[in-house]
Chain A
Amino acid sequence: MKILILGAGQVGSTVAESLVGEANDITVVDTDAEKLRQLQDRLDLRTLAGNAAHPSTLEKAGIVDTDMLLAVTQSDEVNMVACKLASSLYNTPTRIARIRSADFLARTEVFSKENFCVDFSICPEQILTDYIVKLIEFPEALQVQKFSQGKASLVAVRAFQGGPLVGKPLSVLRANMPHIETRVAAIFRKDGPIIPEGSTVIEDGDEIFFIAATDNIRSVLKEMRRMDKPCRRVMIVGGGNIGRRLAKALEHDYQVKLIEYNKKSCQKLAEDLTRALVLNGDGTDEKLLQQEHVGEVDVFCALTNDDENNIMSALLAKQGGAGKVIALINRSAYVDLLQGGKIDIALSPAHVTIGSLLAYVRQGDVAAVHSLRRGAAEVLELVVHGDRQSSRVVGRRIDEIDLPKGATIGAIVRSDQVIMGHHDTVIEAEDHVIVFVVNKAMVHKVEKLFQVSIGFF
């Protein structure tokens, strides 16, 4: 597949990185030649310096035979113009744009075929914000991912010594909750995946991934580990794009304090927010944190642009007695270093946001992709079509499907119903199947399996 990426910023380079590994021809365009050089040194792709909204640049980048355009520059306007050009001048089949401004998003007709021809718009900041909001809503969870417009959810929790399930086999779960359908899709122990069976015994420190209907998450969580007290006070460090969105999303349901270093930004934030308290200061200043009672805070989020600052202020907050600390960390090396240590959740923005893009890039009918464990594993939501003849999935029981090793079917969403994947469940056409893949190398095989054979058309 030929893919053209406009913009080599945070989003552009992460997308390029994960797509390069999947045998795609990638060209990246940016105005900053230095950034492109660094990217080319690292990855096997083509780069071009120039203005992404100019037809001449697009032509040089080979837009004529490109299959997919990803316009992810800093500027909404450039992204929209590039999509429009790609559609009207070059007939590019798929056009995806990063759009941040709520003004554009509020008027979806702007993106229609008659106007800017954007097939799909993504806003990484918003995806990340929604992700953190979920984590605050379910303070016990390490990760919450939604499928099928939020009907089913995948939740990750860490088992602790003294939790109700530790030291017991998984079959206890079913005995304790006869009315609630849930399925443990995978367990990670000391970084290695375990395919769970009824007899698997949960140990202290295990990361457990389970799937359930979204309405049932709270009851299942209760079974997994003792409930933390509900979250009421949230402190956010960093009033950038993510901090501001998060504060806005939380301010009506929680007591929110937002710390921002830049006084001018503070002024703007305070004008923008209605109930959150905006504080001017340094998130790594322990005096300020103490003065604002960081010890009483239930969730502390360090969301500045600077990894080291985020780590330091998260550590200070934890030291000061904050309940759960979340740090935004861009460098993946740091993420692996810190997760599970003193910092409860180390968030890698790239891994959180890449899923929604990947869903479009991938072949087959992929409705959602979420990467887990910093990209080591993936959950896919696949839509199945065809019948028993044309598809290798439809009309078969789960134990009849020839799944590659390391892949499990977690659940099926059939119209409004969430069905857990038992060995005798029969898959029907148009089902959304949630497949858990613990080894990323298997993703391609899984996608192949779910594709309809040529005879269908």
Chain B
Amino acid sequence: MRRTLTVVHALGLMLMVFSVSYLMPVAASLIYSDGTTIDFLVAMVWTSAIGFLMWLLTRRYKGELSIRHGYLLVVAMWTAMPAVATLPLLLVIDNLSFTKAYFEAISGITTTGATVLTGLDTLPPAINIWRHELQWLGGMGIIVLAVAILPLLGVGGRQLFKAETPGPMKDTALTPRITETARNLWLIYLGITIACILSLKIAGMNWLDAVCHAFSTMSTGGFSTHDASIGYYNSPSLELILSVFMLLAAMNFATHFLAWRTKSLRLYLRDSEAISLIGLILASCLGIALFLWWRNVYPSFWIALRHASFNLVSMATDSGFASVDFGQWPIFAPLWMLFLSCITASSGSTGGGIKMIRTLILFKQAGREFIKLLHPAAINPMKIGGSVVPNNIVFAVLGFIFLYFMTVATLTFALLGSNMDFISSFSAVITCINNAGPGLGEVGPAGNFAGLTAFQDWVCILGMLAGRLEIFTVLILFTPHFWRR
């Protein structure tokens, strides 16, 4: 119990830090004078007050966190922050239930990008900025951001980092100090985002849209300021720019960092995840474009290639923008895109799902089994990019995959039980757990999640949370061992 209160203490501090992020929508509301300034200031005061109270009442329990409580803190943050982030949504938008608001907020913070709101084009600019900022902050993990600051305040950082940074390659330290690493990753993230904003502005977006879309691109979130998403612009150059930045965001930021520090692009060639990601996406784009052309969905191959590429990159990187209603394409294409959303994103990126590194590990594991059958005496360690992956990581990956599919199955059954059709419920669960965005059918690119019942909303919320925090982090809280001394 003592330690749990330590977690509450740290969480209080986090919320106080988080309240600073309201400044951006406040500024936006002043610039565009959309009359929401007061609402955001109220939300800011409430958030910091709640945080301060939590921090004050538990200050006697200030101390180092164990790894075990690192998990608890991570899950607590990813549930508490969306909760306070609903405040401005509830204050500004009429007739919005708490469930819907929470869905929108957690969809932002987990960088999913599924929305329950309609009439996005008419929302006050400050609200749109707020939604996209949530994605951006969630993208790299507010944690990584906080890790750069919190150790200064005497809260241990490494445990948090271990629980938060996605994928099995987390032990490759980039710099000797964790704070330094976090700050560097954050700077890279910030740098690419600024490049993205400028590119979008030059290619024809207004400042508000450019900032919003850069935020949701770099976090592979997928929120848009328009109901029609990127289809609103109908601009091939914008689609190209967004595709490039989505691909960058779906690669390991550690690779970006190392490439930037050594000023050499050769590092990307040595990152087997990046190679597989690009290869898989290029092959799929060509394949799907040919398929759509063959099925006469589009009159020419080039038009097919344009739409297939943008939407496929958007789904595969778990962003979830759409330029056309790809739900209308023959079912093979959207299902393949959903499949890619499961496996494509790199570890250490802002994308979600199983991650490319786990896919590679399992592929190689299958190969190892064949070798073992043919040559019983063979010693054949698993190697990814020239370095050996120990067997315990292979087992952890197998465990992860099992939990992933069990979670997908369980949540799909839950949605089916609530009287949803199969393709909608299955695609909704997949898209939530991968933090991708649009699904198919009822929740497809043309529709959204507004029509879901409260129960269905909470099932999707659970999916997004579990997917974002790599399943283990969430489910570990439900094991009796976790709570035993």
Instruction: Give residues in A with beta carbon < 8 Å to B.
Output: 259, 263, 266-267, 269-271, 274, 277-281, 288, 291-292
Contacts and interface: CB of A to CB of B under 8 A. Distances in A.
A291 B375 CA distance: 8
13 contacts: A269-B379, A271-B383, A277-B371, A277-B375, A277-B378, A277-B380, A279-B375, A279-B378, A279-B379, A280-B379, A291-B376, A291-B377, A292-B377
Nearest to A239: B379
Contacts of B381: 267, 270-271
B379 A288 contact: no
Contact of B379 (A266, A291, A292): A266
Contacts of B377: 259, 279-281, 288, 291-292
A288 B376 CA distance: 10
Contacts of A278: 378-380
Contacts of B379: 263, 266-267, 269-270, 278-280
User: Closest 7 interchain pairs by CB?
Assistant: A266-B379, A279-B377, A281-B377, A270-B379, A278-B379, A271-B388, A270-B381
A292 B383 contact: no
Nearest to A278: B379
A271 B379 CA distance: 9
A277 to B, nearest CB: 6
Nearest to A265: B379
A270 B376 contact: no
Nearest to A266: B379
Interface in B383-439: 383, 386, 388
A51 B289 CA distance: 72
A280 to B, nearest CB: 5
B31 to A, nearest CB: 57
Contacts of A271: 381, 383, 388
Contacts of A279: 375, 377-379
A322 to B, nearest CB: 17
B223 to A, nearest CB: 44
Nearest to A281: B377
Nearest to B379: A266
Contacts of B371: 277
Interface of B: 371, 375-381, 383, 386, 388
A292 B388 CA distance: 25
Contacts of A263: 379
Nearest to B386: A274
A443 B383 CA distance: 52
A270 B375 contact: no
A279 B378 CA distance: 4
A280 B371 CA distance: 13
Nearest to B371: A277
A271 B380 CA distance: 8
Contacts of A288: 377
Nearest to B380: A270
Contacts of A259: 377
A287 B317 CA distance: 51
A259 B377 CA distance: 9
A291 B378 CA distance: 11
Residue with the greatest number of chain A CB neighbours at <10 A, chosen from B371, B377, B378, B383: B377
Contacts of B388: 271
A292 B380 contact: no
Contacts of B376: 291
Contacts of A267: 379, 381
A426 to B, nearest CB: 53
A306 B383 CA distance: 31
Residue with the greatest number of chain A CB neighbours at <10 A, chosen from B371, B376, B379, B383: B379
A3 to B, nearest CB: 43
Given A269-B379, A279-B379, A291-B375, 4 more contacts: A271-B388, A277-B378, A279-B378, A292-B375
A278 B375 CA distance: 10
A278 B371 CA distance: 11
A261 to B, nearest CB: 11
A271 B383 CA distance: 7
Contacts of B386: 274
A270 B378 CA distance: 9
A204 B381 CA distance: 49
A209 B375 CA distance: 41
A279 B376 CA distance: 8
Contacts of A280: 377-379
A63 to B, nearest CB: 43
A8 B379 CA distance: 35
Nearest to A285: B377
Contacts of A292: 375, 377
Contacts of A291: 375-377
A266 B376 CA distance: 14
Residue with the greatest number of chain B CB neighbours at <10 A, chosen from A259, A274, A277: A277
A280 B372 CA distance: 12
A269 B159 CA distance: 34
A259 B375 CA distance: 12
A233 to B, nearest CB: 14
Contacts of B378: 277-280
B382 to A, nearest CB: 10
Nearest to A271: B388
A140 to B, nearest CB: 30
B375 to A, nearest CB: 6
Nearest to A287: B377
A270 B383 CA distance: 9
A76 B163 CA distance: 43
Contacts of A270: 379-381
B438 to A, nearest CB: 42
B210 to A, nearest CB: 46
B388 to A, nearest CB: 5
A102 to B, nearest CB: 16
Contacts of A281: 377
A280 B381 CA distance: 13
A291 B383 CA distance: 25
Nearest to A260: B379
Contacts of A269: 379
B21 to A, nearest CB: 46
B369 to A, nearest CB: 15
A265 to B, nearest CB: 9
A277 B377 CA distance: 10
A266 B377 CA distance: 11
A266 B379 CA distance: 7
Nearest to A269: B379
A90 B386 CA distance: 45
B43 to A, nearest CB: 54
A281 B381 CA distance: 16
Contacts of B383: 271, 274
Contacts of B380: 270, 277-278
Contacts of B375: 277, 279, 291-292
B275 to A, nearest CB: 16
A38 B278 CA distance: 64
A263 B377 CA distance: 10
Nearest to A257: B375
B178 to A, nearest CB: 28
A269 B378 CA distance: 11
A271 B378 CA distance: 13
A303 B468 CA distance: 53
A316 to B, nearest CB: 16
Nearest to B381: A270
A333 B393 CA distance: 51
A373 B129 CA distance: 84
A80 B379 CA distance: 36
Contacts of A274: 383, 386
A273 to B, nearest CB: 10
A279 B372 CA distance: 10
A281 B388 CA distance: 22
A125 B143 CA distance: 52
A342 to B, nearest CB: 25
B62 to A, nearest CB: 45
A334 B166 CA distance: 60
Contacts of A266: 379
A77 to B, nearest CB: 26
